[in-house]
Amino acid sequence: MTRGKVAGTLLVVAIGVGAWMFWPARTSSPTATAPHGEAPIAAQAGAQEKPSEAGSSNTAASGSPSASAEAPHAPLPTAQAGLKPLTSEDERRLQAFVDSGAQHNADQRDYELLVVKEAPDAEWSEATERRLEDALRRHGARFTALHASAPHCTRTLCRMLATGGFNSDAPDADWQRLVYEVQRDPSVRDAFVDQHTAVGGDDKGVMFVTYLVRRDGQAQERPYLTR
């Protein structure tokens, strides 16, 4: 009996030692949680092992410039979107175009006489110029090939000049489409009764001059008109 008790005691001790050796091995498993609420050790190890994969995934998700550089189908927007101001060369070309049109077209000659000779309306002209400028900015973002003047308004009409590209129907150079959208803008929709746009061109591109005629009949006697 004594030998049996001794053997049983040794068996229990052996099982206890084996269990002690087994549990410390399990607590070092890769899925163990780090103390103080940190990320699981396996997650930390994975982040250290594959930083480039994590970085590329996060960049693509956030749409950062480096992701755009790696994806040619999603280029960054251009730095100068929308209408651009006229250059001195544009102004020279457009003035020659306007002068030529006024020589050959009676309506355009009368419009140009108003532009030159008619005084502005203190309560209407400057305010309308500002509204037209704002409407051009709102609607002009996609017309990146166009260069345009600031609107000029007299008592009875407003004139705008533009040039750009070699195809007046191109999506980024369609000045007449832009004028149509501006005329429908709520800020100026009721300001004009008519519009006339003359289109021409030279070896530098297409040119436009647009006249918007005031709606509310403020035209006075204009003896300087030809008819």
For residue range 196-212, what is the model confidence (pLDDT) as tens digits? 999 999 999 999 999 99
Same domain, 64 and 90: no
Residue 84 has pLDDT above 50, yes or no: yes
Pairing of strands 157-163, 84-85: unpaired
What φ, ψ does residue 222 adopt, rounded to 5°?
-130, 80
Same domain, 58 and 90: no
Q: Which residue has the higher pLDDT, 13 or 220?
A: 220
Task: Specify if 128 maps to a domain.
Answer: yes
Both tokens of residue 167? 């195809």
Same domain, 116 and 209: yes
Residue at 155: amino acid letter? R
Among candidate residues 29, 44, 70, the one where a domain is terminated: 70
Using alpha carbons only, what angle is made at residue 90 by residues 86 and 93, rounded to the nearest 5 degrees?
150
Question: For all residues of the chain together, what is the average pLDDT?
Answer: 74
Q: What is the pLDDT of residue 7?
A: 44
Both tokens of residue 88? 């001195």
pTM of the model: 0.62
Q: What is the pLDDT of residue 225?
A: 52
**Which residues are within 8 A (CB) of 92 and not within 5 positions of it... i.e. 6 or more apart?**
none
175: exposed, middle or buried (C-beta count within 10 Å: 0-12, 13-18, 19+)? Answer: buried
> Nearest-CA neighbor of 156 among 219, 106, 64, 200?
219
Quickly count: other Cβ atoms within 10 Å of residue 156's Cβ. Answer: 20
Q: What is the pLDDT of residue 222?
A: 54
CATH of residue 188's domain is 3.30.980
Among candidate residues 17, 37, 70, the one where a domain is terminated: 70
Q: What is the pLDDT of residue 13?
A: 39
Among candidate residues 39, 70, 101, the one where a domain is terminated: 70
Q: Tell me which residue has tokens 């306007």.
A: 98
Alpha carbon distance 64, 74 (integer Å): 11
Q: For residue 143, give its domain range.
A: 84-214
Both tokens of residue 153? 């308004």
Task: Specify if 220 maps to a domain.
Answer: no
What φ, ψ does residue 96 adopt, rounded to 5°?
-65, -40
Same domain, 194 and 90: yes
Mean pLDDT check: name the lowest of 15-29, 79-93, 179-193.
Answer: 15-29
Q: Give the chain's domain count.
A: 2
Same domain, 119 and 178: yes
Residue 75 has pLDDT above 90, yes or no: no
Q: What is the pLDDT of residue 80?
A: 52
Same domain, 11 and 51: yes
